Structure 1
Amino acid sequence: MGWRILLGWLSFVAALGLAVIVTLAAQRYGFPVLAQQIILAVVTSSVAVPLIYLLRRYADNRPWSGLGLSPLPSGLPYLLLGAGFLSAMMGVALLAGTLAGWIRVVDVHLPVETLLVILINIPIAFFYEAFPEEVTFRGYLYTNLRTRFGSWLALLLQVVLFVSAPVALTAAMVAAGVGTWDLITFDYIVNLIAFGTALQLCRIFSGNLWMCIGFHLAWLEIVRFVIVPSDFALIEVEYLSPYGSYLVSLGSVIVGIAVLLGWTYRNRNRQKELRD
């Protein structure tokens, strides 16, 4: 199992690294930003997902369906559940920040340009971040870890692997002279830990990766285009305190973790009562 975990982790890191290399080359040749983003998305998913499929099929000798990725028609309710749940948690965080005096809602807009950008960004974010990350970490790696360590220890180990992936890639880029450590900050690591925990709890709670993908995708779009201190945002806000920004981006995820833990604990007690 150790080799399968390592190969699964390397599959994503290698895919992301190759995507970055190809995109840097495209940047040097003057490709527009949108084209670079599309390249990142296409290369990451087209390399990582097939490698994970091959590992699942030939190293694990297990069906792809065991990862919790149901066919999309049946997975659509879980996708919407994940997106809706994260949106609700964002709403709670925004309300709490407003009541605490950390956030002020300036205006609510519906700019056509922003809606168009969101429509364009959704498939890019899906194939660059949400889909390959969930298939790799909350799907393949967690499924293998759970067979040996159980759900909760597997969750912690998955978070460690999730955090170590961008750190390892950054280290490789720094060693190659094409990167810096600027992005690997304390805040970034804390966000990854919270985000990886919440996403894995979505998988444990629902048993379906589409909930993780919906949660992941909704968070990306909301923090980029919806609740933003800009007149191009759908909800234009002003952060009156640094805590306001943390509350929206990180607090909403932490609230989600608390809710998911509560639901999971309640369901386990209910199942125990039924067995008794």
Structure 2
Amino acid sequence: MNHSNSRFSNILFYIIITCLIFIISPTITRFLDQTTLPNDISQLLGGLLFTLLAISFVLFIHRQKNKNIFADIGLLSKVNLPFYIALALPIVLLTLSIVLGMITGTITNLSLSSDNSVWCAFLLNILVAFLYEAFPEELLVRGVILSELRKKLSFLPTLFLLPLIFALIGFLSHVFSTLIITGNLTIPPLLIPIQLYIFGIALQLYREYSKSIWPSIIFHLICLELSRYVFNQQNNPIIVFNESMTGMMMLIGLFITMYLGSIISLSILLFWKSKK
């Protein structure tokens, strides 16, 4: 087998294993949800499983295929100015989303929740979301798969190809985990893979600009928490406000400001970085 075919087989192998991990973890978590365990505990156990499977796969690659995998995926990258900028950008964009919402009249009566149980749920969900989604997904997709793709393809093709792979893996994970649990073949709404694709582009730009996987993990985690405890006012939010129309801040805050704002900002920063 020549080097090109070997590289392609590695990419395919990494995608298949990642897809299997994406299916196994939510399936077991949903099984646990049907037990007498509290929902938070089952989610936490599912997160631990997902993270352990992801780390185990990276360790397998390190031992069997690539001794430089930790450096390749940006897990141990040096901290530099682009790293700090990539960490700060989501906070700037969140502030901008709130300001835009207030200026346009989309939101009014802004305040912090005084419900301690809401804050406890939010803090616990940060840990769950890190273990169950942000860390293992970024480690496998923007880490393992991207590092192998970049050995064969340049930046621009992977910017459009990897988010497609990410959306496909997410789609298959939903379909097969639901099929295993319920016995029914359920196709998720088209909006979900579209959202995953746009989200995937933003996540990859964080990875590319910072040369580290950590800013993409942090951005992933922030977006998860914003969608659950800030922009979604139907789910005991930590920031309470009235919306002119239900769901508008999910559109303005998450899709336009966080996703598209990150894509535009990081594209400009990458262009500027390439010219220096």
Which band: TM-score by shorter chain? 0.7 to 0.9
Distance in 1, matches of 2:109 and 2:17, equals 42
Q: Deviations over 1:110-167 (max 9, x none)?
A: 5432222222112211111111111111111111111111111112111111000121
Q: Assess if the C-alpha contact under 8 Å between 1:134 and 1:212 holds in 2.
A: yes
- Percent identity at matched positions? 19
Distance 1:237 1:83, change over 3 A: farther
Structure 1, residues 210-251: CA drift from partner, whole Å, max 9, x if none? Answer: 111111111112222234425942321233234432111211
| Count, aligned residues | 267
Name the residue aligned to 1:255.
Answer: 261
In structure 1, the partner of 2:49 is 43
State which of 214, 219, 228 in structure 2 corresponds to 1:215.
Answer: 219
Q: Choose which of 160, 165, 172 in structure 2 pairs with 1:168.
A: 172
- Secondary structure of the residue that 2:241 maps to in structure 1? strand
Do the aligned partners of 1:89 and 1:253 also contact (CA within 8 Å) in 2?
no
How far residue 44 of structure 1 moved from its aligned partner, in angstroms, is 0.9
- Going from structure 1 to structure 2, the CA distance change for 1:171 and 1:209 (only over 3 Å counts) comes to same
Deviates more, 1:146-155 or 1:96-105: 96-105
Structure with more of its chain in helix, by fraction:
1
Q: CA deviation at 1:59?
A: 2.4
1:23 to 29, 35, 49: 29
Instruction: Indicate how the Cα distance of structure 1 residues 146 and 259 shifts in structure 2: closer, same or farther if over 3 A, else same.
Output: same
Gap change, CA 1:214 and 1:175, over 3 Å in 2:
closer
Matches within 5 A, 1:83-94: 84-94=88-98
1:246 is aligned to 2:259: no
Is the 2:146–2:158 contact (alpha carbons within 8 Å) kept by the matching residues of 1? yes
**Letter of the structure 1 residue corresponding to residue 250 of structure 2:** S
Does 1:64 find its partner at 2:80?
no
- Name the counterpart of 2:3: none
Whether the aligned pair in 2 keeps the contact of 1:9 and 1:141 (CA below 8 Å) is yes
| TM-superposed deviation, 1:82 | 4.7
Partner of 1:273: none
Gaps of 5+ in 2: 1-6
TM-score by length of 2: 0.86
**Partner of residue 274, structure 1:** none
Q: Deviations over 1:177-205 (max 9, x none)?
A: 545535x2232222211211111100111
1:98 counterpart = 2:102: yes
- How far apart are the structure 2 equivalents of 1:81 and 1:263? 10
Question: How far off its partner does 1:90 sit?
Answer: 1.9
Kept after mapping to 2: 8 A contact 1:142/1:155: no
**Structure 1 residue aligned with 2:61:** 55
Q: Give the 5 Å matches for 1:132-211.
A: 132-173=136-177, 175-176=179-180, 177-181=182-186, 184-211=188-215
* TM score, norm. by length of structure 1: 0.86
Contact 2:70 2:76 in 1 (8 A): no
Unmatched 5+ residue regions in structure 1? 271-276
Which residue pairs with 1:118 in the alignment?
A: 122
Matched AA of 2:259 = V
Partner Cα distance (1:101, 1:210) in 2:
35
Bigger mean CA offset, 115-124 vs 154-163: 115-124
